[in-house]
């Protein structure tokens, strides 16, 4: 990047000032269309194809690409957008070349993967979903947008709304889990957080909803693999969060890498043109995933760059990320008559419209202001939200005998904090691969508050004696290498074992064929177990893992996920009871890998199993069918009771609203937050329906002893499904309603829907 080292600060300032006056013509929705047409009329074919070309910068999240001299490509109008550029000054230089040296001065749009924070790192998206707190998620994305936009990014490749039922898939950490309803609410909250109510505002970024579609159902949990599914599953499970994001105004969508029922998603006309733009009436721009146009050739669905260009453009995709396929193939496709000028123009229109809506034509430097940059990144108050988010994401799975929280005056005196993640300085630990804004390889250990760093002083303040001993995770380590930690555990009254995954164990192309605690950590736990000390297992994870031994033998288990910068503080808050845990699993935790895919909204089968070993029923010889922990599950330091489930009538006419209410009481001795969940089951539709489907939830605060009536209102739409005639429709007949604090432990009632 030496080529960028020119005296830029002064230049940037002058340009910022001059462009804001020269281009200061207020963009309104009405005049965008005419400005797009005026510009389009001036563009050559090469310039048009250039607008459809997106080129990567100093970070690579895909296969290697050849990067010719970026500045000369920008100058000659060959690039419309850049992605993954971290250097602020370089963005100013590139924008300057685009607007003042290229013939038409069309500004660049800068895209970036802002996945769980930009500079301030929040818990991974799956963890955020475990908070079931849409206001919080929106606030997180608002901060991420503040930071990203102040650093010159205009566009985030987020939210990822892929529903997944397979924890082997590394990208399960980027989504909101297994449920389409929860996933839809999270999708909307993220879009609102990123985009605010004005895309052109200096502190917002455009959202890009991805990966359209089906990517989370990749076979065998292997990234980029085949996806094959029924129309029902596509419409009911996969598509709802995408539609919710589209309805919330997501400016752009991204294709997926996979084939869906044989057709690569980037050239899937049914998805992009028929469903997204047709049925849903969405008007935005679609970008490929990293070289996914080019990969249609590797899939064996396109012959060459020309064929791939024809197929992807004709399907409705607009911009080519990182592949250069359109650069090489689109012109020839036009010359040979396989695409029309009108098709290319339509894609270019969408790109230009997008740039206008971001306000880039009015002031190309509006997101490149040095002062705002310096004032905005990593504001201390963002840390507070990161801490709150991390604590609210944590899920308490077990707390036998009320071992937690650890408070003053406890019967225990000495605490041993042990384990590989007690105080790890490993690259991206407690975060993920997707913290690109920090710089790809530079782990800045000063940024993350590590568990022991915060937990030790917090516990000491409460009167405990605390030791911290790390455990090596090297493949060559043996029981002997664990001896210091084991001795510390032996000396203590209570053990906190920090185990789990590395930050780099999750994310794109980080799939696993085993869900056991990696790198012999089960061994560590079982050695500690032999000491028969009360033990708290803190799990740092990015996916549901399997830890049956711990489930049987360890009294307290807390899922901390990958919590981000405020890991230690949030953990201390939860373990000492400053924060009463309220997170609930957005995804089922299996007992074993063999149960995968396991999810709560399954069909009943004709032979559901009541108990293990029952022959001629749907089950296993060697395992129960039930999961280790069901969807929606999570404990608190207090207890809630559910009573008085009421359904306002026993019969409803189509179109009427079904009202379901329940009384929730905090029967414990401290305040807490409970996530009240409402599920339904359609008992006799025209096709078999899932045993439960989430239809609503509410997160409520209850003081000790307090009761609250929570009411859910279900419309006909809520009771409808994608039927065999390929339509959403509710059938008359009986329905069950379930309300509870998770998908398993519920109160139930019944009503009938009549014509
Ligand atoms: C991922 C996308 C990401 C893109 C740009 C791809 O490999 O699948 O989710 O937005 O890279 O980094």
Average pLDDT by stretches of 10, the chain with 755 residues: 38 44 49 96 98 87 68 96 92 96 98 96 98 98 98 98 98 98 98 97 98 98 98 98 98 98 98 98 98 98 98 98 97 98 98 98 97 95 98 98 97 96 92 77 72 98 96 75 88 96 93 92 86 96 96 96 98 98 98 98 97 94 97 98 97 97 98 98 96 98 98 98 95 97 98 96
- Ligand 1 near 299 CB (within 6 A): no
DSSP state of 738: E
CA distance 522 to 726: 48
- Ligand 1 near 62 CB (within 6 A): yes
CA distance 562 to 571: 11
Q: Atom 2 of ligand 1 has which residue's CA nearest to it?
A: 289
**Among 413, 534, 422, 397, which residue's Cα sits nearest to residue 463?**
413
- Sign (positive or negative) of CA dihedral 71, 76, 78, 79: positive
Q: Where in the chain is the domain with CATH 2.60.40.10?
A: 640-754
CA distance 432 to 510: 11
Beta strand pairing call for 155-156 and 81-83: unpaired
> What digits encode the pLDDT tens for the residues 609-632?
999 989 999 999 999 999 999 999
CATH class of the 640-754 domain in this structure: mainly beta
Domain 395-595: assigned CATH number? 3.40.50.1700
Tell me, in angstroms, the distance from the centre of ligand 1 to residue 235's CA: 24
Beta strand pairing call for 465-469 and 414-418: parallel
CB atoms within 10 A of CB 341: 10
- Sign (positive or negative) of CA dihedral 722, 724, 729, 730: negative
Tell me, in angstroms, the distance from the centre of ligand 1 to residue 553's CA: 40
**Among 214, 225, 206, which residue's Cα sits nearest to residue 286?**
206
CA distance 496 to 468: 9
The neighbouring-strand residues paired with 557 are 398, 537
> What digits encode the pLDDT tens for the residues 348-384?
999 999 999 999 999 999 999 999 999 999 999 999 9
- Ligand 1 near 61 CB (within 6 A): yes
Distances (CA, A) of 362 to 71, 195, 277, 337: 22, 18, 28, 36
- Ligand 1 near 181 CB (within 6 A): no
Report the pLDDT value the prediction gives residue 386, as an integer from 0 to 100.
98
Tell me, in angstroms, the distance from the centre of ligand 1 to residue 32's CA: 29
3-state class (DSSP) for residue 70:
helix
Tell me, in angstroms, the distance from the centre of ligand 1 to residue 290's CA: 6
Report the pLDDT value the prediction gives residue 207, as an integer from 0 to 100.
98
Q: Where in the chain is the domain with CATH 3.40.50.1700?
A: 395-595
- Ligand 1 near 501 CB (within 6 A): no
- Sign (positive or negative) of CA dihedral 431, 435, 438, 442: positive
Q: Which residues are catalytic?
A: 289
CA distance 416 to 217: 41
Which of 155, 210, 218, 508 has most ligand 1 atoms within 8 Å of its beta carbon, as the pocket-test mutant?
A: 508
């Amino acid at each position: 990047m030496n080529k960028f080292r020119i005296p830029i600060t002064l230049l940037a300032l002058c340009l910022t000032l001059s462009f804001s006056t020269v281009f200061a013509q207020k963009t309104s929705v009405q005049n965008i269309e005419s400005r797009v047409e005026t510009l389009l009329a001036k563009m050559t074919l090469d310039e048009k194809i250039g607008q459809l070309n997106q080129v990567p910068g100093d970070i690579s999240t895909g296969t290697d690409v050849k990067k010719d001299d970026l500045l000369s490509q920008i100058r000659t109008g060959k690039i419309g957008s850049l992605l993954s550029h971290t250097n602020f000054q370089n963005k100013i230089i590139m924008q300057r070349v685009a607007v003042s040296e290229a013939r038409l001065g069309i500004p660049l749009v800068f895209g970036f993967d802002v996945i769980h924070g930009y500079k301030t790192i929040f818990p991974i998206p799956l963890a955020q979903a475990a908070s079931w707190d849409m206001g919080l998620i929106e606030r997180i994305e608002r901060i991420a947008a503040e930071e990203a936009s102040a650093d010159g990014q205009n566009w985030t490749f987020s939210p990822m709304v892929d529903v997944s039922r397979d924890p082997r898939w590394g990208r399960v950490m980027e989504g909101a889990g297994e449920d389409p309803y929860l996933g839809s609410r999270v999708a909307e909250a993220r879009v609102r957080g990123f985009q605010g109510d004005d895309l052109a505002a200096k502190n917002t970024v455009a959202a890009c909803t991805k990966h359209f579609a089906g990517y989370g159902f990749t076979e065998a949990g292997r990234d980029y693999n085949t996806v094959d599914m029924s129309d029902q599953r596509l419409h009911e499970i996969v598509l709802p969060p995408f539609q919710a994001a589209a309805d919330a105004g997501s400016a752009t969508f991204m294709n997926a890498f996979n084939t869906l029922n044989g057709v690569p998603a980037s050239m899937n006309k049914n998805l992009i043109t028929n469903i997204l733009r047709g049925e849903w009436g969405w008007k935005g721009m679609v970008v490929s995933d990293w070289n996914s146009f080019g990969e249609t050739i590797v899939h064996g669905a396109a012959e060459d760059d020309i064929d791939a260009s024809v197929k992807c453009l004709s399907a409705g995709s607009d911009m080519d990320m990182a592949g250069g396929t359109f650069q090489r193939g689109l012109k020839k496709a036009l010359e040979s008559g396989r695409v029309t000028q009108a098709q290319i123009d339509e894609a270019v229109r969408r790109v230009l419209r997008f740039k206008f809506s971001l306000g880039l034509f009015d002031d190309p430097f509006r997101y490149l202001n040095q002062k705002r940059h310096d004032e905005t990144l990593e504001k201390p108050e963002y840390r507070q939200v990161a801490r709150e988010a991390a604590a609210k994401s944590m899920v308490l799975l077990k707390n036998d005998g009320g071992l937690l929280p650890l408070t003053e005056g406890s019967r225990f005196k000495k605490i041993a904090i042990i384990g590989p993640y007690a105080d790890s300085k490993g690259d991206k630990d407690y975060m993920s691969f997707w913290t690109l804004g920090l710089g790809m390889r530079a782990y800045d250990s000063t940024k993350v508050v590590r568990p022991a760093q915060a937990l030790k002083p917090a516990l000491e303040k409460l009167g405990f004696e605390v030791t911290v001993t790390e455990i090596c995770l090297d493949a060559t380590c043996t029981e002997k290498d664990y001896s210091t930690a084991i001795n510390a555990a032996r000396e203590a009254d209570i053990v906190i074992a920090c185990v789990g995954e590395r930050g780099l164990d999750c994310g794109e192309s980080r799939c696993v064929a085993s869900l056991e605690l990696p790198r012999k950590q089960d061994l560590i736990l079982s050695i500690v177990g032999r000491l028969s000390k009360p033990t708290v297992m803190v799990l740092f994870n990015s996916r549901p893992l399997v830890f049956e031994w711990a489930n049987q033998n360890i009294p307290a288990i807390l899922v901390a996920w990958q919590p981000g910068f405020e890991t230690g503080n949030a953990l201390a808050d939860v373990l000492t009871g400053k924060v009463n845990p309220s997170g609930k699993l957005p995804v089922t935790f299996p007992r074993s890998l063999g149960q995968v895919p396991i999810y709560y909204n399954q069909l009943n089968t004709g032979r559901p199993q009541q108990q293990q070993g029952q022959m001629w029923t749907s089950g296993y010889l060697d395992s129960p069918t039930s999961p280790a922990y069901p969807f929606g599950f999570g404990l608190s330091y207090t207890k809630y009771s559910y009573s008085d489930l009421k359904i306002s009538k026993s019969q409803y006419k189509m179109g009427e609203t079904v009202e379901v209410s329940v009384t929730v009481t905090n029967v414990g001795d401290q305040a807490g937050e409970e996530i009240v969940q409402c599920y339904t089951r359609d008992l006799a539709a025209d096709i078999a329906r899932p045993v439960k489907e989430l239809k609503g939830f509410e997160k409520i605060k209850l003081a000790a002893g307090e009761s609250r009536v929570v009411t859910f209102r279900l419309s006909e739409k809520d009771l409808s499904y994608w039927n065999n005639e390929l339509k959403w429709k509710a059938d008359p007949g009986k329905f069950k309603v379930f309300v509870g604090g998770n998908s398993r432990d519920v109160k139930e009632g019944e009503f009938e829907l009549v014509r």
